[in-house]
Amino acid sequence: MSTALAPRVDAPSDLELVVATLDGTYAAFEVLFRRYSDRVFGIAMGMLRNEAEAHDIVQETFLSAFRKLHTYRQESPFRSWLFRIASNACLMRLRARRRRPEVPLEVRSPGFKDDGHHERPVVDWSPLAPKLMEDQELGERLHAAIEGLPDKYRAVLVMADYEHLSMKDIAVEMNLSVPAVKTRLHRARLAVRQELCEYLNGTV
């Protein structure tokens, strides 16, 4: 049984590397690690805002992926599967940090019409971006707001805004239609935005 990848001009695909790993060529998994470890670290830093924990998440994610590699199905890209492992690991840490009852989305967010759009104007999100990058307390409020979302909304938000998956990929992951994904993402972003705006306005 070979333990090294044969030289080739073009880079092997993720699926080829997965198959090679399952066949015992463990160097193939090292290639996957080099290919995606920075992306996993970025996801973890974005969600946890803690470098040490982010490094831990990288190790946990790839160890978990290696152990569960035989369960990977090809319905979605390998990177999507890997990033889900990473985001779930981050969410578990966030839950451990901040235990609080889950509040229904409708209670914490603006009212919605039947088409998923809000009934009244809300504060523009874009001006908050620079402050989010600089204000640790506000960053913690952001993560708390995300953690407080119902699971079906939080999962879509994390995949879209942290994993940067396409609407189509998220739809496949969640077994939803693309319009349903867009509606959930719209509502999740509005709920988080509303909580941050209330915090900035001193109402929280």
Residues 59 and 136 in one domain: no
CATH number for 148: 1.10.10.10
Residues 89 and 123 in one domain: no
Domain boundary residue, one of 51, 72, 97:
97
pLDDT at res. 141: 79
**What's the number of domains the chain is made of?**
2
Residues 66 and 130 in one domain: no
pLDDT at res. 45: 82
Helix intervals (H) in 49-127: 51-67, 78-97, 105-108
Residues 91 and 147 in one domain: no
Query: Minimal CA–CA distance to 159: which of 182, 126, 129, 139?
Result: 182
Here the tokens at position 200 are: 């900035």
Residues 129 and 199 in one domain: yes
pLDDT at res. 169: 82
Residues 6 and 70 in one domain: yes
Residues 200 and 116 in one domain: yes
pLDDT at res. 36: 95
State pLDDT tens for residues 157-168.
888 887 778 898
CA-based Rg of the chain, rounded to a whole angstrom? 19
Domain with 64 in it: 1-97
Q: Low-confidence residues of the chain, pLDDT below 50? A: 1-2, 100-101, 107-108, 110-112, 114, 116, 118, 121-130, 133
**Cα 119 from Cα 158, distance rounded (Å):** 25
pTM of the model: 0.59
